[in-house]
């Protein structure tokens, strides 16, 4: 083929591990999301994007774009109604960062347990939204020995009530509530401002609330009131209304605050890129269906040594989890300067998930080693005496 016969793909230059994927089969243009304009996409066949490029009629009308791939789980930046009407196929990367959010929540729980002197195995956690992320969070909470309540009305309608509870039961019994819902503006499963005054006023146990899904799911003034009046005993926030211009009063009131990075492990980003490349390949028959990202940076300290002498199981698990990711570092950075919220996301340091680490232990019981394995750590083994 001559290059002129090649298809043309516009790629957001912040998508990691993507360079080199399409160069043999397409003309590739790398641009910042904000520079992806109607002029640029006019003669393009495909767009590979993140969440910052609004893919709507204004961008796409009169272009030759046939396919849009978002290398993220979110797709609220794609006007799906317009694309469907215009015959433009689109895809996202559902679940690509679910293990990363699992790691984030694990770090949150261990830091809260340490600060508030909590035994996780004595606590009940309510998980609202049990999709790719929520189901993984449920799994780790079970490994920690917590009582887990699952709420997911769409899944409950599809699968029956056996493993799900209604939101009222979570409001009554949960010591911690964590939100993992998509942002739906309307309909019976609307989640916009789901956590509003009515929600907070009906909580029975003054739980800690965690939001790592979408900022608009929690109403800012309502959560501030709930903290002031003790309706909740703490708020952990990764997603904010009006990002990046976040509410500074709320930031001061949070237990832990991060700049929308729960899903930002390198593993999650690599998976999102891989899913997008394969989707474009499938659509255009490019024979890249087995493409794998390369060059994912190893963690700085891949071996975790733990001497369990005198430590509880929770303390051992906490050591392992916080070695891979300690949320307090991100919390400190955001509190120090909120003006570079986007930069903190863009320049996010290397974070690798549990399977990138090997554990060497002494004085650790077999059942605890098994839990480390279940979390995904590689072959925790006893150091020979």
Catalytic residues: 214, 243, 260
**With b meaning 16 or more CB within 10 Å and e meaning fewer, what string describes 74-100?**
bbbbbbeebbeeeebebbbbbbbbbbb
What single-letter DSSP state applies at residue 218? B
For 265-385, strand residue ranges (E) read 303-307, 358-362, 378-382
Peptide bond into 244 cis (omega under 30): yes
* Structural tokens at position 148: 């887990």
Beta bridge partners, 148, equal 125
Can you tell me the distance from the alpha carbon of 94 to that of 76, in angstroms, rounded to the nearest whole number? Answer: 13
* Structural tokens at position 95: 């679940």
For CA atoms 214, 219, 221, 227, the dihedral sign is: negative
Cβ atoms of residues 14 and 50 within 8 Å: yes
Residues 6+ away with beta carbon under 8 Å from 169: 149, 151
10 Å Cβ neighbour count for 158?
8
Strand order in the sheet with 303-307: 303-307, 358-362, 378-382
């Amino acid at each position: 083929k001559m290059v002129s016969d090649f298809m043309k793909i516009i790629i957001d230059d912040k998508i990691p591990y993507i360079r080199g994927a399409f160069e043999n089969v397409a003309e590739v243009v790398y641009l910042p999301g904000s520079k992806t304009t109607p002029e640029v996409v006019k003669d393009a066949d495909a767009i590979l994007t993140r969440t910052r490029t609004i893919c709507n009629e204004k961008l796409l009308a009169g272009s030759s774009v046939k396919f849009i791939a978002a290398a993220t789980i979110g797709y609220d930046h794609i006007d799906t109604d317009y694309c469907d009407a215009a015959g433009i196929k689109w895809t996202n990367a559902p679940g690509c960062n679910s293990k990363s959010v699992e790691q984030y929540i694990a770090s949150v729980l261990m830091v809260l347990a340490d600060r508030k002197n909590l035994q996780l195995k004595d606590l009940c956690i309510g998980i609202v939204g049990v999709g790719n992320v929520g189901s993984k969070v449920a799994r780790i909470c079970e490994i920690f020995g917590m009582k887990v309540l699952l709420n997911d009305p769409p899944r409950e309608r599809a699968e029956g009530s056996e493993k799900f509870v209604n939101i009222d039961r979570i409001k009554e019994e949960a010591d911690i509530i964590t939100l993992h819902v998509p942002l739906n503006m309307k309909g019976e499963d609307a989640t916009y401002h789901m956590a509003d005054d009515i929600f907070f006023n009906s909580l029975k146990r003054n739980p800690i609330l965690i939001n790592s899904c979408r900022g608009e799911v929690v109403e800012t003034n309502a959560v501030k009131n709930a903290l002031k009046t003790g309706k909740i005993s703490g708020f952990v926030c990764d997603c904010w209304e009006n990002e990046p211009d976040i509410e500074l009063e709320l930031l001061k009131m949070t237990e832990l605050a991060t700049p929308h990075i729960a899903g930002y492990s390198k593993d999650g980003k690599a998976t999102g890129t891989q899913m997008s490349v394969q989707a474009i390949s499938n659509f255009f028959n490019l024979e890249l269906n087995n493409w794998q990202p390369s060059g994912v940076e190893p963690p700085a300290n891949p071996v975790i040594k733990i001497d369990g002498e005198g430590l509880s199981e929770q303390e051992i698990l906490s050591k392992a989890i916080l070695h891979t990711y300690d949320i307090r570092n991100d919390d400190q950075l955001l509190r120090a300067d909120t003006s570079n919220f986007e930069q903190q996301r863009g320049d996010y340091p290397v974070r690798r998930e549990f399977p990138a680490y090997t554990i060497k232990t002494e004085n650790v019981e077999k059942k605890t080693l098994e839990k480390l394995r279940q979390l995904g750590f590689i072959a925790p083994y006893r150091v020979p005496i």
